[in-house]
Amino acid sequence: AGSISKMQAGLNAHPSLGLTYTYGTAGFRTSADILDPVMFRLGALAALRSRAQESLPAHISTPQVDPMGEMLQASWEAHAVELANCADEQVEATLKSIAEREGVDMTQQAKVMVGSDTRKSSPALVQAVKDGCLAVGAHCEDFGNLTTPQLHYLVRAHNDSSFGEPTEAGYYAKHAAAFKRLLAHANVSLPIKLKVDCANGVGAPKFAALLPLLAGVFEAELCNQGEGPLNEKCGADYVKVQQGAPSNMTFEGDERCASFDGDADRLVYYFQRAGQFCLLDGDRIASLAAGYLNELAAAAGLSLDLGVVQTAYANGGSSNFLQNEAKVPVAFAKTGVKHLHHKALDFGVGVYFEANGHGTVLFNDKALKTLEKAEYATDSARQAGAMLGDFVQLINQTVGDAISDLLMVEAILALKGMSTEQWAAMYNDLPNRQLKVKVADRTVITTTDAERICVTPAGLQDAINELVEQTPQGRSFVRPSGTEDVVRVYAEADTRENADKLAYAVANKVF
């Protein structure tokens, strides 16, 4: 009876608004004003998820996360949708039915870890999650403000002590130590200096908290630290889509700059070349990382089976460079990091990045065993092997992490003695254009082959093919967004003019 009254109290405090919610890419993506009842129910569902894994904590931020710090399993996404959309009177019965279907023992202890960002909506949403946990008798630990990847780290570290100390300080200590061990081998003048646009998000205070641990080795000047609205005219997405600098940031010459996005899971770099803005996106980061980790593996005499996973948005210049020049295998996955993450585990070392800067590098169990058991013939091979081990520590293996990815890029550039200019010269990007098209019902568009081919509506793919054929080095595709009510159009071609022309012509076919 006690738990029933707690549930009823929770439902009274977080009543249904009678709306229908859809699960987008890794979460319910809608206005915070209408998320209160959803977060209450997700609190209860996360407790069940935790119980399903024998008391391993699950966690919630808007993207829901599994106990090993990875994205929520698809079957549980369906449970989340069912629970978010049932009537208040059905919440308890729905939870019970999900528990039965998943074989969850409701008497098991449960723990849910929750984190939030700097938006004003956060405290109320966190309270709703806590009440949801309380309603089903689960313990909820509130970590306060965190970047999304930090919360993934904490969940993983909590469940796997070999991963790191399960505290925010543990996150900083682990990454700073690995970075400094790597930098000890670099022959560059220190400290390394960088300008970082923090998108007015939670990345600003969190990155600032790491910097003292890197004193003397690395310094960053932070911009857009929260003085304006989240992601407004700044942040990784703005910079990538506009192909221009964020506001409130000035830089000169070849000064190296980076942008996080609002929750610090995406990272892009940029600088100026002869007064021209020059973007180094997720494809560049993947190419840099794949090339260097392959060099280290060769120096260590190890065969680690490294490959890159990209999406249809990867610039054709990068795919061509990786496959034909760097001789790295490239696999394609659907948009959304959980698809890339999954595919990356097929490789020993799976480098996955979306062009927008969201990604990481995964070392699968086989590669980790190879590293662990390696016997080295020479000191330099042993050193290369140890450095690979330091990269395993430096890179957040749970999910794309702007802070950890930034340290990886800086370490590689320093170790290679490579300038920003040289990094940009690895290959040339094909000019490209992304457009959003509003349509009455975006679900009429369905795709196949990692979203590169349209299946429906009939005739659309033929129309795209025809336009592409008329365009030198043309490539274009359309797909419904998983996070916004729009259809996205992508086009690339030999010149900016042709890329724009192709994108607008394809967009016209979508209407």
Sequence ranges of the binding site for Mg(2+): 261, 263, 265
Q: Which of residues 180-239 bind ligand NG1 (CB under 6 A)?
A: none
Using the rule CB under 6 A, is 482 a contact of ligand NG1? yes
Using the rule CB under 6 A, is 354 a contact of ligand NG1? yes
Using the rule CB under 6 A, is 335 a contact of ligand NG1? yes
Using the rule CB under 6 A, is 313 a contact of ligand NG1? yes
The binder of ligand NG1 chosen from 41, 49, 195, 358 (CB under 6 A): 358
Using the rule CB under 6 A, is 79 a contact of ligand NG1? no
* Smallest separation, CB 480 to ligand NG1 (Å): 8
State yes or no: cis peptide before 457, omega within 30 of 0. yes
* Smallest separation, CB 45 to ligand NG1 (Å): 21
Asked whether 488 and 477 are in contact (CB, 8 A), the reply is: no
- Beta bridge partners, 351, equal 308, 361
State yes or no: cis peptide before 191, omega within 30 of 0. yes
- Beta bridge partners, 433, equal 491
93 to each of 78, 87, 90, 96, 156, how far by Cα in Å?
A: 16, 10, 5, 5, 31
Instruction: Name the binding residues.
Output: 261, 263, 265, 354-356, 479-483, 488
Cβ distance to ligand NG1 smaller for residue 336 or 348? 336
* Smallest separation, CB 442 to ligand NG1 (Å): 10
Beta strands 349-353 and 306-310, pairing class: parallel
CA distance 49 to 52: 5
Using the rule CB under 6 A, is 483 a contact of ligand NG1? yes
Using the rule CB under 6 A, is 484 a contact of ligand NG1? yes
CB neighbourhood size of 253 (10 A): 9
Cβ distance to ligand NG1 smaller for residue 346 or 484? 484
Helices (H), 119-228: 122-135, 148-159, 168-183, 203-210
The binder of ligand NG1 chosen from 37, 166, 201, 336 (CB under 6 A): 336
Cβ distance to ligand NG1 smaller for residue 294 or 483? 483
* Smallest separation, CB 87 to ligand NG1 (Å): 29
> Looking at 77-85, 199-207, 326-334, 483-491, which segment touches ligand NG1 (CB under 6 A)?
483-491
> Looking at 2-10, 33-41, 354-362, 444-452, which segment touches ligand NG1 (CB under 6 A)?
354-362
Cβ distance to ligand NG1 smaller for residue 150 or 356? 356
The binder of ligand NG1 chosen from 8, 25, 122, 247 (CB under 6 A): 25
Please choose, from the candidates 426, 306, 424, 319, the residue with its C-alpha nearest in 3D space to the C-alpha of residue 361: 306
Using the rule CB under 6 A, is 359 a contact of ligand NG1? no
DSSP 46-61: HHHHHHHTTT--EEES
Cβ distance to ligand NG1 smaller for residue 64 or 356? 356
Using the rule CB under 6 A, is 356 a contact of ligand NG1? yes
Cβ distance to ligand NG1 smaller for residue 64 or 393? 64
CA distance 196 to 409: 13
**Burial profile 490-502: b = 16 or more Cβ within 10 angstroms, e = fewer:** bbbbeeeebbbbb
Structure tokens at 492: 């690339």
Structure tokens at 340: 């890339």
Cβ distance to ligand NG1 smaller for residue 200 or 447? 447
8 to each of 94, 145, 494, how far by Cα in Å?
A: 14, 29, 62
Instruction: Give the helix/strand (H/E) hosting 280.
Output: strand 276-280
* Smallest separation, CB 335 to ligand NG1 (Å): 5
Using the rule CB under 6 A, is 295 a contact of ligand NG1? no
Sites of contact with ligand NG1 (CB under 6 A):
25, 313, 335-336, 354, 356, 358, 481-484, 488
